Amino acid sequence: MYQRCFDNASETLFVAGKTPRLSRFAFSDDPKWESGHHVHDNETELIYVKKGVARFTIDSSLYVAHADDIVVIERGRLHAVASDVNDPATTCTCALYGFQFQGAEENQLLQPHSCPVIAAGQGKEVIKTLFNELSVILPQSKNSQTSSLWDAFAYTLAILYYENFKNAYRSEQGYIKKDVLIKDILFYLNNNYREKITLEQLSKKFRASVSYICHEFTKEYRISPINYVIQRRMTEAKWSLTNTELSQAEISWRVGYENVDHFAKLFLRHVGCFAQRLPQAI
């Protein structure tokens, strides 16, 4: 038998009224999953690698995460994720917002210069259990649970990740500083992918030649600017087909295509299946 009593004298981690809220949960076990570079303006992602290997490009650095690693991608961070071809990853992601730790900025969890990918240590089994519970409960919930339940998960995970990461420090080995102009173009494409974008528009906006933009962007991100826009649209469309009840026409319009047939052909070409309702992974 064991008993432990607690008091309320312990230090408060969060600023008053600024505790984490859960905005999104994702479970990915697609062996070919790959997301292009993108940014979340108001969310910080907490990721758990359940098995396999995943590659994360965060700002200017490449990180390789293995089974039982945990990852933090803070709001405003330019990032891309890809499952390893030889050892496909299964990952769970909770996106949080609205929180603020004492002495930190809003939605900031990492300490300055800390590494965003580490092996789960403190509370490892609890972290695994929480993500497993979410991956089982959420697909079956049909919005019957209150938001307080999901926010309780967010609160607990935020603290566990905070405790794990507070003593983790970034290794500068392999750090590559990207061309500022090319990074600015990537941010622009990420934020405006729904709009009609041409290379000529980019050239005029960023005051650089079309050939320079194409060459440097492709060299840096291994995809051309226009193909990045298409990839970004397809990623958003795939998410909408999996997680919303929107029609194909509505999704086509939301991601920037007025012609539904053209959207359907592009989706089939780039995603490898028809643009119809996709089952949620459980």
In the numeric block, the tokens 């983790």 are attached to 168
Domain boundary pick from 103, 135, 165: 165
| Gap between the Cα atoms of 197 and 190, Å rounded | 11
Domain at 85, CATH number: 2.60.120.10
159 and 189 co-located in one domain: no
- Provide the domain count of the chain: 2
Domain boundary pick from 97, 131, 165: 165
With respect to residue 172, please indicate whether it lies within any of the assigned structural domains: no
Residue 191: both structure tokens together: 């934020």
CA-nearest of 40, 33, 252, 63 to 168 is 63
135 and 245 co-located in one domain: no
122 and 78 co-located in one domain: yes
With respect to residue 10, please indicate whether it lies within any of the assigned structural domains: no
Q: Which residues contact 157 (CB under 8 A, 6 or more apart)?
A: 20, 46, 94, 96, 127, 130
Domain at 240, CATH number: 1.10.10.60
CA-nearest of 30, 220, 51 to 128 is 51
The reported pLDDT for the residue numbered 276 is 62
144 and 52 co-located in one domain: yes
| Tens of each residue's pLDDT in the chain, 282 residues | 777 776 665 568 899 989 999 999 998 888 878 887 888 889 999 999 999 999 898 886 778 889 999 999 999 888 889 898 888 999 999 999 999 999 889 999 998 777 898 889 888 999 999 999 998 888 777 665 667 888 999 999 999 999 898 866 544 443 334 467 888 888 889 889 889 999 999 988 888 888 888 988 888 788 899 989 988 888 888 878 777 778 888 888 888 888 888 888 888 887 776 666 544 443
The structure's pTM equals 0.66
159 and 195 co-located in one domain: no
122 and 220 co-located in one domain: no
The reported pLDDT for the residue numbered 205 is 86
The reported pLDDT for the residue numbered 167 is 63
Domain that holds residue 228: 180-271
| Gap between the Cα atoms of 55 and 61, Å rounded | 11
217 and 96 co-located in one domain: no
The reported pLDDT for the residue numbered 171 is 44
With respect to residue 232, please indicate whether it lies within any of the assigned structural domains: yes
Residues 72 and 89: beta-carbon distance below 8 Å:
no
The reported pLDDT for the residue numbered 73 is 95
The reported pLDDT for the residue numbered 107 is 92
